[in-house]
Amino acid sequence: MISNYYTFRHIVSTLGSTLPGMRIREVYTQNPDELVIAFEEQDPRLVILCRADLSVLYLSDRASRARRNSVDLLNACPGRCVKTVAIDPGDRIVRIGLDGAGTIAAALYGPRSNVLLLDEAGVVQDAFKRPRALAGSPFGEPAPEQPLDFSRFRRECALAGTKTLSSVLRRSFPVLGGTLCAEVIARAGCDAGRPAPETDARSHAAIEEIIGALIAEIRTPAPRLYLADDGRPEYLSLVDLRIARTLKEELIPDIHAAVRRYLAAAGAGDRHEHDTATILTPLRAQIEKSRRALRATEADAADADRALEYEKFGNALLGALPALRKGERTFETAIAGEPVSIPLEPSLSPLQNAQKYFARAKRARAAGEESSRRRDELRSRIARAERLLEEAERELDSGGAEQFRKAHAEDLKEFGLGLRQRDGDAPPFRVFTVDGGFEVWAGKNGSNNDLLTLRYAKPDDLWFHARGGSGSHVVLRTRSGKGEPGKHACEQAAAIAAYYSKMKTAGTVAVAMTEKRFVRKPRGAPAGTVVIEREKVLFVTPALPRGAAQQIR
C-alpha cells in the first residue's frame, strides 16, 4: 500500500502544511530513479522515487548530496518558491505549484513514473526521464473525481465468466489498489479466488459496506508497517489490516518516517537510511557479536588453567592406588604440602578415576590452546571491523557509499555484507516466462525456496507448490506482465511447480495456489517449510513452458 493513492493523499496533506513558502535551492539525482528537491532552508528535502516496482515521495532530513555522481535537473526550478501542493482526485499525480506560474508534476504510476516541469498551460518544459521526447507535449489538467461505482461492480461480477472476485474488485475500484482490495475480501469473509459470478447479493452488499468503512478509517490515518520474521516489510498501511495479522506490526505516526523505515527495511530509497541499515548497523552488530565471543573465550581460558590441577589430581591418585577402593567419593591427600580433597566417581575404579583426570587435563590444555588462538582471531577481527566502521561512517557522511562498497567489497564480504543484487540483475532462481509475458520464478532447494518466498515474492504475487511432497516454491510475479495473469498463465506456473517436485513423473499432480500474503513460515521451521492459507488446488501435468530450456538461469 506504499504506492496507493490514499497513501499519497495523506503524504500530500502533510506536504501542504510544510512546503509552501520554501524556496528551491537545487534539484538533482544521485541514485537510479530517484529525484531530490532541496530547499534553501536546508531541511527537509523532498525525495521522489520513480521506480517501476515502487513509486513514492517523502520528506527526508538526511538525503545529503554526494560529492560525486550527482546531476542537476529541472534547471528552471532553483530560486522559485513553492506555492501549493495537491494531488489529482483519484489519480497518483502530485502537483507542486511554483511562484511565477508553472508546476512540478510527479506522476507516480509504476513503470511510467516521472517528474515533469509544466508551464502555466500544462505543457511539458522539462522532465526527470525522457526530457527530449516529452518536451512540448501537453500533460493535461486534473480529471474530476470519479465516485465509487458499486452498480458497475455488480455488473462486472455478473459478466466476469471465470475471472476471480479479486480481479473484478481491483478492476472496478482501481483507486483501492491490491492490498485494500484483499483486505475488503478478507473482512467480507469471501474467497478471493472464487469466480466472481458465484458471489451473491449478500456478499456484494457486505463488500460495499466494508469499502465505505475502510475509506472512513483512512480519513483518520494511523500509519503502520507490517514486517515479516526476517524484518522485511510486507505492507505500509494507513489502517489496521486483517490480512496482516500474522505479521509484526510497527506503528509509526509520522507518514514520512514510516516511508523511510519501509524503504530502509526493503533496502531501497533514502540513501542514508539504506546505507545505515545495510552497512553501519550490521557492522556494529558484528563488532558486538565478536566482543561477546571474546568474552566467552576468556571464560574458557580460565577453565583451561585447571589443566595442571587435573594432572596433579591424576598423579596423586596413581601414587595412592594400593590404598584406594572403588566406591569412595573423595580422596584426602596433600599436594605440595597443602591438604587437598579430590572428588571421585564411586562407579569408577581408582585407576579409572585417575585416567579421568588425565583426560580432563588433556581436554583443558587443548581448550586453552584453542581459546588462545580464537582470542587472537577475535581481537584481530574486532580491530578490522572497527577500522572498517570508522571509514564507512566517514564515507557515508560524505555521500560516498557506492564507492565505499566497491573499494571494500572483500572486507564487507568477510563480515557477510557483500554487494546486494541490483534491480535488473538475474535473480538467483529458475526463471520462466508464461502466457501474458508474466515471469515465473522457481526455487532450487530448501534455503533457496525460503529466499524466494520470504525475501523476493511480493504480497500479491501468486504462490504455487505441489501438494503431498517436497518440491520447489514457485512464484508467478503478477506485476511482471500486462493486466492480471490469466487461467493459462496460472496453469503453466502450477505445471512448473509439479515439474520441480517429487511427483514429476506422475500424469496429474495437485498443486496448491494462493497469494503470497497467505504464506508464512513458522518460527523454527526447517528450510523450505511454510504454512499456507486460502489455497486453491489446480490439477496439472508436470511440464515446463515451451522453450523453457533457454530461460533457465
Q: Please report the pLDDT score of residue 121 as a whole number.
A: 92
Q: Are residues 222 and 256 in the same domain?
A: yes
Q: Please report the pLDDT score of residue 62 as a whole number.
A: 65
Q: Are residues 158 and 242 in the same domain?
A: yes
Question: Which stretch of DSSP H or E encloses residue 84?
Answer: strand 82-87
CA atoms of 51 and 48, how far apart (whole Å): 9
Residue 404 or 325, more confident: 325
For residue 231, what pLDDT band results from cuts at 50, 70 and 90? confident
**Spatial CA neighbour of 56 closest among 64, 46, 48:** 48
Helix (H, G, I), strand (E, B) or coil at 194: coil
Q: Are residues 278 and 296 in the same domain?
A: yes
For residue 418, what pLDDT band results from cuts at 50, 70 and 90? low
Q: How many domains does the chain have?
A: 4
CA atoms of 3 and 109, how far apart (whole Å): 8
Q: Please report the pLDDT score of residue 365 as a whole number.
A: 82
Q: Please report the pLDDT score of residue 553 as a whole number.
A: 47
Q: Are 62 and 47 in contact (CB under 8 A)?
A: no
Q: Please report the pLDDT score of residue 269 as a whole number.
A: 41
Instruction: Report percent pLDDT > 70 for the chain.
Output: 91
The answer to whether the pTM exceeds 0.85 is: no
Q: Please report the pLDDT score of residue 271 as a whole number.
A: 52
Residue with cell 557477510: 416
Lowest mean pLDDT among 201-205, 240-244, 262-266: 262-266
Task: Among 266, 286, 309, give the residue marking a domain's end.
Answer: 266
Lowest mean pLDDT among 111-115, 312-316, 385-389, 420-424: 420-424
Task: Among 365, 386, 414, give the residue marking a domain's end.
Answer: 414
Tens of pLDDT, residue by residue over 45-68, are 999 999 877 899 999 876 577 766
Q: Please report the pLDDT score of residue 43 as a whole number.
A: 72
Tens of pLDDT, residue by residue over 285-319, are 888 888 888 887 776 666 566 888 888 999 999 98
Q: Please report the pLDDT score of residue 547 as a whole number.
A: 57
Q: Residue 425: pLDDT above 50?
A: no
Mean pLDDT, rounded, for 313-337: 90
Q: Are residues 403 and 447 in the same domain?
A: no
Phi, psi of 227 (to 5 degrees): -115, 145
Q: Please report the pLDDT score of residue 363 as a whole number.
A: 83
The residue segments making up the domain with residue 198 are 150-266
Task: Among 105, 134, 163, give the residue marking a domain's end.
Answer: 134
Q: Are residues 113 and 179 in the same domain?
A: no
Q: Please report the pLDDT score of residue 305 as a whole number.
A: 66
**Spatial CA neighbour of 214 closest among 237, 234, 248:** 237
Q: Are residues 232 and 183 in the same domain?
A: yes
CATH code: domain of residue 331 = 1.10.287
List, in sequence order, the alpha helices (H) in 305-408: 307-319, 350-397, 401-407
